Amino acid sequence: MQPFAGEALDPPPIWLMRQAGRYLPEYRETRAKAGGFLDLCYSPALAAEVTLQPIRRYGFDAAILFADILLVPDALGQSVRFAEGEGPLLDPLRTAADLTRLSPTATRPKFERVFETVQRLRQDLPDETALIGFCGAPWTVATYMIEGRGSKDQAAARLFAYRDPDGFQKLMDVLVEASIEYLSGQVQAGADALQIFDTWAGSLPDDQFEKWVIHPTQRIVEAMHKQHPDVPVIGFPRGAQGSALWYVAETKVDGIGCDTAMPPYMMAEAFDGENVVVQGNLDPLLLVAGGEALKTRVGEILELMEGRPFIFNLGHGIVPETPPEHVADLVRWVRGGAQ
Protein backbone atom coordinates (compact mmCIF):
# COMPACT_ATOMS: atom_id res chain seq x y z
CA MET A 1 0.00 0.00 0.00
CA GLN A 2 1.47 3.27 -1.18
CA PRO A 3 1.74 5.42 1.97
CA PHE A 4 3.57 2.56 3.68
CA ALA A 5 6.42 2.50 1.17
CA GLY A 6 8.28 4.96 3.41
CA GLU A 7 7.79 8.03 1.23
CA ALA A 8 5.87 11.22 1.88
CA LEU A 9 2.99 11.74 -0.53
CA ASP A 10 1.90 15.22 -1.51
CA PRO A 11 -0.98 15.68 -0.83
CA PRO A 12 -1.15 13.01 1.87
CA PRO A 13 -3.79 10.30 1.52
CA ILE A 14 -6.97 10.91 3.51
CA TRP A 15 -9.65 8.72 5.07
CA LEU A 16 -11.63 9.27 8.26
CA MET A 17 -12.49 7.02 11.18
CA ARG A 18 -16.26 6.35 11.12
CA GLN A 19 -16.48 7.83 7.63
CA ALA A 20 -19.59 5.68 7.11
CA GLY A 21 -22.25 6.53 9.64
CA ARG A 22 -25.22 8.50 10.84
CA TYR A 23 -23.99 11.93 9.65
CA LEU A 24 -24.76 10.75 6.08
CA PRO A 25 -28.44 10.72 4.98
CA GLU A 26 -27.76 7.78 2.65
CA TYR A 27 -26.40 5.79 5.63
CA ARG A 28 -29.53 6.51 7.67
CA GLU A 29 -31.64 5.31 4.75
CA THR A 30 -29.74 2.01 4.35
CA ARG A 31 -29.63 1.52 8.12
CA ALA A 32 -33.45 1.86 8.28
CA LYS A 33 -33.76 -0.78 5.54
CA ALA A 34 -31.50 -3.18 7.43
CA GLY A 35 -33.48 -3.10 10.68
CA GLY A 36 -30.93 -3.37 13.48
CA PHE A 37 -27.33 -2.22 13.47
CA LEU A 38 -26.03 -5.81 13.68
CA ASP A 39 -28.31 -6.84 10.80
CA LEU A 40 -26.55 -4.15 8.79
CA CYS A 41 -23.09 -5.45 9.81
CA TYR A 42 -23.99 -9.05 8.90
CA SER A 43 -25.64 -8.22 5.56
CA PRO A 44 -22.82 -8.27 2.98
CA ALA A 45 -24.81 -6.33 0.37
CA LEU A 46 -25.89 -3.56 2.76
CA ALA A 47 -22.59 -3.39 4.66
CA ALA A 48 -20.75 -3.06 1.33
CA GLU A 49 -23.19 -0.35 0.28
CA VAL A 50 -22.61 1.81 3.38
CA THR A 51 -18.84 1.31 3.07
CA LEU A 52 -19.00 2.68 -0.48
CA GLN A 53 -21.22 5.69 0.33
CA PRO A 54 -18.44 7.98 1.65
CA ILE A 55 -16.13 6.87 -1.19
CA ARG A 56 -18.72 7.94 -3.78
CA ARG A 57 -19.37 11.24 -2.03
CA TYR A 58 -15.81 12.28 -1.19
CA GLY A 59 -13.40 10.02 -3.09
CA PHE A 60 -11.38 9.13 0.02
CA ASP A 61 -8.12 7.27 -0.62
CA ALA A 62 -9.24 4.35 1.51
CA ALA A 63 -12.50 2.64 2.38
CA ILE A 64 -12.91 1.10 5.81
CA LEU A 65 -14.91 -2.09 5.98
CA PHE A 66 -18.27 -1.45 7.62
CA ALA A 67 -18.49 -3.69 10.68
CA ASP A 68 -17.93 -3.25 14.42
CA ILE A 69 -15.31 -4.24 16.97
CA LEU A 70 -18.06 -6.00 18.96
CA LEU A 71 -18.69 -8.58 16.20
CA VAL A 72 -15.85 -10.61 17.75
CA PRO A 73 -17.58 -11.14 21.14
CA ASP A 74 -20.84 -11.63 19.28
CA ALA A 75 -19.28 -14.37 17.13
CA LEU A 76 -17.75 -15.93 20.27
CA GLY A 77 -21.27 -16.35 21.62
CA GLN A 78 -21.59 -13.39 24.00
CA SER A 79 -24.49 -11.94 22.11
CA VAL A 80 -24.39 -8.20 21.55
CA ARG A 81 -27.46 -5.95 21.29
CA PHE A 82 -27.57 -2.33 20.20
CA ALA A 83 -30.42 -0.58 21.99
CA GLU A 84 -31.55 2.72 20.43
CA GLY A 85 -29.77 5.61 22.14
CA GLU A 86 -27.97 3.29 24.60
CA GLY A 87 -25.05 1.92 22.60
CA PRO A 88 -23.98 -1.69 22.88
CA LEU A 89 -25.30 -4.08 25.56
CA LEU A 90 -23.81 -7.50 26.39
CA ASP A 91 -24.39 -9.98 29.26
CA PRO A 92 -21.30 -9.07 31.28
CA LEU A 93 -18.53 -11.56 32.08
CA ARG A 94 -18.17 -11.28 35.87
CA THR A 95 -15.51 -13.91 36.62
CA ALA A 96 -13.20 -16.28 34.78
CA ALA A 97 -15.87 -19.01 35.22
CA ASP A 98 -18.04 -17.01 32.78
CA LEU A 99 -15.43 -17.59 30.05
CA THR A 100 -17.01 -21.02 29.51
CA ARG A 101 -19.86 -19.08 27.86
CA LEU A 102 -17.52 -18.25 24.97
CA SER A 103 -17.05 -20.74 22.12
CA PRO A 104 -13.78 -19.96 20.32
CA THR A 105 -14.50 -22.59 17.66
CA ALA A 106 -17.94 -21.17 16.77
CA THR A 107 -16.90 -17.86 15.21
CA ARG A 108 -16.74 -18.96 11.58
CA PRO A 109 -20.35 -18.51 10.34
CA LYS A 110 -20.55 -14.89 11.58
CA PHE A 111 -17.02 -14.03 10.42
CA GLU A 112 -17.86 -15.45 6.97
CA ARG A 113 -20.56 -12.78 6.54
CA VAL A 114 -17.92 -10.10 7.08
CA PHE A 115 -15.44 -11.79 4.73
CA GLU A 116 -18.17 -11.80 2.06
CA THR A 117 -18.58 -8.03 2.53
CA VAL A 118 -14.82 -7.63 2.00
CA GLN A 119 -14.95 -9.72 -1.18
CA ARG A 120 -17.78 -7.64 -2.60
CA LEU A 121 -15.95 -4.44 -1.73
CA ARG A 122 -12.72 -5.47 -3.38
CA GLN A 123 -14.72 -6.05 -6.56
CA ASP A 124 -16.73 -2.84 -6.36
CA LEU A 125 -14.05 -0.39 -5.23
CA PRO A 126 -11.88 1.47 -7.73
CA ASP A 127 -8.38 -0.10 -7.90
CA GLU A 128 -6.78 3.04 -6.49
CA THR A 129 -8.93 2.96 -3.32
CA ALA A 130 -7.35 0.91 -0.55
CA LEU A 131 -9.59 -1.30 1.55
CA ILE A 132 -8.89 -1.26 5.28
CA GLY A 133 -10.06 -4.16 7.45
CA PHE A 134 -10.07 -3.90 11.24
CA CYS A 135 -10.70 -5.37 14.64
CA GLY A 136 -10.84 -4.02 18.17
CA ALA A 137 -7.75 -4.58 20.28
CA PRO A 138 -8.26 -7.32 22.89
CA TRP A 139 -8.09 -4.82 25.80
CA THR A 140 -10.78 -2.52 24.39
CA VAL A 141 -13.05 -5.41 23.37
CA ALA A 142 -12.61 -6.96 26.84
CA THR A 143 -13.76 -3.70 28.50
CA TYR A 144 -17.15 -4.06 26.77
CA MET A 145 -17.33 -7.81 27.46
CA ILE A 146 -16.70 -7.35 31.19
CA GLU A 147 -18.65 -4.15 31.74
CA GLY A 148 -21.51 -5.31 29.50
CA ARG A 149 -21.67 -1.81 27.96
CA GLY A 150 -19.61 1.27 27.31
CA SER A 151 -18.24 2.94 30.44
CA LYS A 152 -16.43 6.11 31.47
CA ASP A 153 -13.47 4.57 33.22
CA GLN A 154 -13.42 0.86 32.25
CA ALA A 155 -13.42 0.10 36.00
CA ALA A 156 -14.94 -3.40 35.81
CA ALA A 157 -12.27 -4.63 33.37
CA ARG A 158 -9.42 -2.93 35.26
CA LEU A 159 -10.57 -4.53 38.52
CA PHE A 160 -11.00 -7.95 36.89
CA ALA A 161 -7.42 -7.74 35.60
CA TYR A 162 -6.05 -6.74 39.04
CA ARG A 163 -8.03 -9.35 40.98
CA ASP A 164 -7.59 -12.27 38.59
CA PRO A 165 -4.70 -11.66 36.18
CA ASP A 166 -4.62 -15.33 35.13
CA GLY A 167 -8.32 -15.34 34.30
CA PHE A 168 -7.92 -12.05 32.44
CA GLN A 169 -4.99 -13.50 30.50
CA LYS A 170 -7.25 -16.40 29.42
CA LEU A 171 -9.75 -13.88 28.03
CA MET A 172 -6.92 -12.04 26.24
CA ASP A 173 -5.76 -15.36 24.72
CA VAL A 174 -9.24 -16.08 23.37
CA LEU A 175 -9.46 -12.57 21.90
CA VAL A 176 -5.96 -12.67 20.39
CA GLU A 177 -6.74 -15.96 18.63
CA ALA A 178 -10.17 -14.81 17.42
CA SER A 179 -8.73 -11.48 16.21
CA ILE A 180 -6.00 -13.26 14.24
CA GLU A 181 -8.59 -15.53 12.59
CA TYR A 182 -10.82 -12.52 11.89
CA LEU A 183 -8.11 -10.26 10.43
CA SER A 184 -6.50 -13.02 8.44
CA GLY A 185 -9.85 -13.88 6.86
CA GLN A 186 -10.33 -10.21 5.94
CA VAL A 187 -6.94 -10.15 4.20
CA GLN A 188 -7.67 -13.39 2.33
CA ALA A 189 -10.96 -11.84 1.21
CA GLY A 190 -9.18 -8.74 -0.15
CA ALA A 191 -8.30 -6.21 2.59
CA ASP A 192 -5.14 -4.22 1.74
CA ALA A 193 -4.35 -2.89 5.22
CA LEU A 194 -5.60 -3.44 8.76
CA GLN A 195 -6.30 -1.24 11.74
CA ILE A 196 -6.45 -2.32 15.38
CA PHE A 197 -8.68 0.01 17.43
CA ASP A 198 -7.62 0.34 21.07
CA THR A 199 -10.05 3.06 22.07
CA TRP A 200 -9.47 2.59 25.82
CA ALA A 201 -5.68 2.11 25.80
CA GLY A 202 -5.40 5.35 27.78
CA SER A 203 -7.14 4.04 30.88
CA LEU A 204 -4.22 1.82 31.97
CA PRO A 205 -1.07 2.62 33.99
CA ASP A 206 2.19 1.49 32.41
CA ASP A 207 2.48 -2.02 33.89
CA GLN A 208 -1.10 -2.86 32.88
CA PHE A 209 -0.61 -1.12 29.52
CA GLU A 210 2.33 -3.41 28.83
CA LYS A 211 0.39 -6.57 29.72
CA TRP A 212 -2.99 -5.82 28.19
CA VAL A 213 -2.31 -3.33 25.39
CA ILE A 214 1.22 -4.00 24.16
CA HIS A 215 1.50 -7.78 24.52
CA PRO A 216 -1.78 -8.84 22.90
CA THR A 217 -1.31 -6.31 20.08
CA GLN A 218 2.25 -7.54 19.54
CA ARG A 219 0.95 -11.10 19.10
CA ILE A 220 -1.65 -10.05 16.55
CA VAL A 221 0.80 -7.89 14.57
CA GLU A 222 3.41 -10.65 14.58
CA ALA A 223 0.90 -13.19 13.25
CA MET A 224 -0.22 -10.77 10.51
CA HIS A 225 3.36 -9.99 9.50
CA LYS A 226 4.13 -13.70 9.30
CA GLN A 227 1.00 -14.65 7.37
CA HIS A 228 0.65 -11.52 5.22
CA PRO A 229 3.99 -9.69 5.05
CA ASP A 230 2.73 -7.12 2.52
CA VAL A 231 -0.27 -5.98 4.55
CA PRO A 232 0.44 -2.99 6.80
CA VAL A 233 -1.11 -2.88 10.26
CA ILE A 234 -2.09 0.46 11.82
CA GLY A 235 -2.42 0.63 15.62
CA PHE A 236 -4.69 3.19 17.30
CA PRO A 237 -3.84 3.23 21.02
CA ARG A 238 -6.17 6.09 21.89
CA GLY A 239 -5.04 8.07 24.92
CA ALA A 240 -1.64 6.35 25.14
CA GLN A 241 0.11 9.75 25.15
CA GLY A 242 3.85 9.34 25.89
CA SER A 243 3.48 5.55 25.72
CA ALA A 244 2.62 5.72 22.01
CA LEU A 245 6.31 5.58 21.14
CA TRP A 246 6.84 2.55 23.36
CA TYR A 247 3.74 0.95 21.77
CA VAL A 248 5.18 1.47 18.28
CA ALA A 249 8.60 0.10 19.18
CA GLU A 250 7.21 -3.02 20.89
CA THR A 251 4.21 -3.93 18.74
CA LYS A 252 6.00 -3.22 15.42
CA VAL A 253 2.87 -1.69 13.90
CA ASP A 254 3.41 -0.17 10.45
CA GLY A 255 1.20 2.83 11.14
CA ILE A 256 0.37 4.76 14.30
CA GLY A 257 -3.05 6.40 14.62
CA CYS A 258 -2.69 9.51 16.79
CA ASP A 259 -5.60 10.82 18.85
CA THR A 260 -6.56 14.48 19.23
CA ALA A 261 -4.40 15.00 22.33
CA MET A 262 -1.13 14.26 20.50
CA PRO A 263 0.51 17.60 19.56
CA PRO A 264 1.22 17.63 15.82
CA TYR A 265 4.88 18.60 16.46
CA MET A 266 5.20 15.28 18.30
CA MET A 267 3.50 13.43 15.47
CA ALA A 268 6.08 15.00 13.19
CA GLU A 269 9.16 14.22 15.27
CA ALA A 270 8.60 11.51 17.88
CA PHE A 271 8.34 8.60 15.45
CA ASP A 272 11.28 9.52 13.22
CA GLY A 273 13.48 6.47 12.75
CA GLU A 274 10.69 4.08 13.78
CA ASN A 275 9.77 3.21 10.20
CA VAL A 276 6.13 3.94 10.89
CA VAL A 277 3.50 5.97 9.03
CA VAL A 278 1.78 8.56 11.20
CA GLN A 279 -1.99 8.97 10.92
CA GLY A 280 -4.20 11.59 12.52
CA ASN A 281 -5.36 13.68 14.25
CA LEU A 282 -7.88 16.44 13.55
CA ASP A 283 -10.44 17.00 16.32
CA PRO A 284 -13.80 15.53 15.14
CA LEU A 285 -15.58 18.50 16.75
CA LEU A 286 -13.67 20.90 14.52
CA LEU A 287 -15.28 19.06 11.64
CA VAL A 288 -18.66 19.85 13.22
CA ALA A 289 -17.70 23.52 13.63
CA GLY A 290 -16.25 23.86 10.11
CA GLY A 291 -15.24 27.13 8.43
CA GLU A 292 -12.07 29.14 9.06
CA ALA A 293 -11.18 27.36 12.31
CA LEU A 294 -11.18 24.04 10.48
CA LYS A 295 -9.23 25.42 7.53
CA THR A 296 -6.56 26.95 9.75
CA ARG A 297 -5.98 23.78 11.74
CA VAL A 298 -5.86 21.62 8.60
CA GLY A 299 -3.18 23.98 7.28
CA GLU A 300 -1.16 23.65 10.48
CA ILE A 301 -1.27 19.85 10.48
CA LEU A 302 -0.34 19.67 6.79
CA GLU A 303 2.57 22.05 7.28
CA LEU A 304 4.00 20.16 10.25
CA MET A 305 3.66 16.78 8.54
CA GLU A 306 5.01 17.91 5.18
CA GLY A 307 7.80 15.70 3.84
CA ARG A 308 6.95 12.80 6.18
CA PRO A 309 5.00 9.59 5.50
CA PHE A 310 1.57 10.69 6.73
CA ILE A 311 -2.10 9.79 6.41
CA PHE A 312 -4.58 12.57 7.14
CA ASN A 313 -7.33 11.42 9.51
CA LEU A 314 -9.26 12.46 12.58
CA GLY A 315 -8.08 11.87 16.15
CA HIS A 316 -11.27 9.84 16.76
CA GLY A 317 -14.43 8.95 14.83
CA ILE A 318 -16.77 11.36 13.00
CA VAL A 319 -19.71 12.30 15.21
CA PRO A 320 -23.32 12.10 13.93
CA GLU A 321 -23.79 15.92 14.17
CA THR A 322 -21.14 16.52 11.47
CA PRO A 323 -22.51 18.48 8.48
CA PRO A 324 -21.60 16.42 5.38
CA GLU A 325 -20.51 19.59 3.52
CA HIS A 326 -17.78 20.21 6.11
CA VAL A 327 -16.28 16.84 5.17
CA ALA A 328 -16.27 17.93 1.52
CA ASP A 329 -14.47 21.15 2.55
CA LEU A 330 -11.91 19.15 4.51
CA VAL A 331 -11.11 16.83 1.60
CA ARG A 332 -10.78 19.81 -0.75
CA TRP A 333 -8.45 21.65 1.64
CA VAL A 334 -6.28 18.61 2.27
CA ARG A 335 -5.97 17.93 -1.45
CA GLY A 336 -5.50 21.50 -2.55
CA GLY A 337 -3.54 22.85 0.39
CA ALA A 338 -5.35 25.04 2.92
CA GLN A 339 -4.16 28.45 1.66
Pick from 1, 17, 178, 301: which binds ligand CP3 (CB under 6 A)?
Answer: 17
Closer residue to ligand CP3 (CB): 4 or 134: 134
Q: What's the chain's Rg over C-alpha atoms?
A: 19
Closer residue to ligand CP3 (CB): 154 or 338: 154
Pick from 44, 73, 88, 216: which binds ligand CP3 (CB under 6 A)?
Answer: 88
Pick from 211, 317, 324, 329: which binds ligand CP3 (CB under 6 A)?
Answer: 317
Count of Cβ atoms closer than 10 Å to residue 333 Cβ: 21
Write 55-60 long-range contacts (CB < 8 A, 24+).
Answer: 55/125, 55/126, 55/129, 57/24, 57/26, 57/324, 57/327, 57/328, 58/19, 58/327, 58/328, 58/331, 59/331, 60/14, 60/15, 60/16, 60/19, 60/129, 60/331
Coil vs helix vs strand at 280 = strand
Per the annotation, the verdict on 182 as an active-site residue is no
Closer residue to ligand CP3 (CB): 37 or 246: 37
Phi, psi of 182 (to 5 degrees): -70, -45
Pick from 60, 197, 209, 310: which binds ligand CP3 (CB under 6 A)?
Answer: 197
Among 78, 290, 72, smallest CA distance to 175 is for: 72
Is position 21 an interface residue for ligand CP3 (rule: CB under 6 A)? yes
Per the annotation, the verdict on 31 as an active-site residue is yes
Pick from 23, 42, 58, 66: which binds ligand CP3 (CB under 6 A)?
Answer: 66
**CB 317, min distance to ligand CP3, A:** 4
Interaction pattern, residues 31-60, with ligand CP3; x per rule: CB under 6 A: x-----x-----------------------
**CB 15, min distance to ligand CP3, A:** 9
Interaction pattern, residues 208-247, with ligand CP3; x per rule: CB under 6 A: ----------------------------------------
Closer residue to ligand CP3 (CB): 11 or 150: 150
Tell me the sheet residues that pair with 83.
Answer: 87
DSSP codes joined into one string, 69-137: TTHHHHHTT--EEEETTTEEEE----SGGGGGG--TTS-HHHHHHHHHHHHHHHHHS-TTSEEEEEEE-
Return the residue nearest ligand CP3 (CB atom): 199
CA atoms within 13 A on the CB side of 100: 1
Residues tagged active-site? 18, 22, 31, 68, 144
Q: Summarize as ranges the residues that interact with ligand CP3 (CB under 6 A).
A: 17-22, 31, 37, 64, 66, 68-70, 87-88, 134, 136, 150, 197, 199, 317
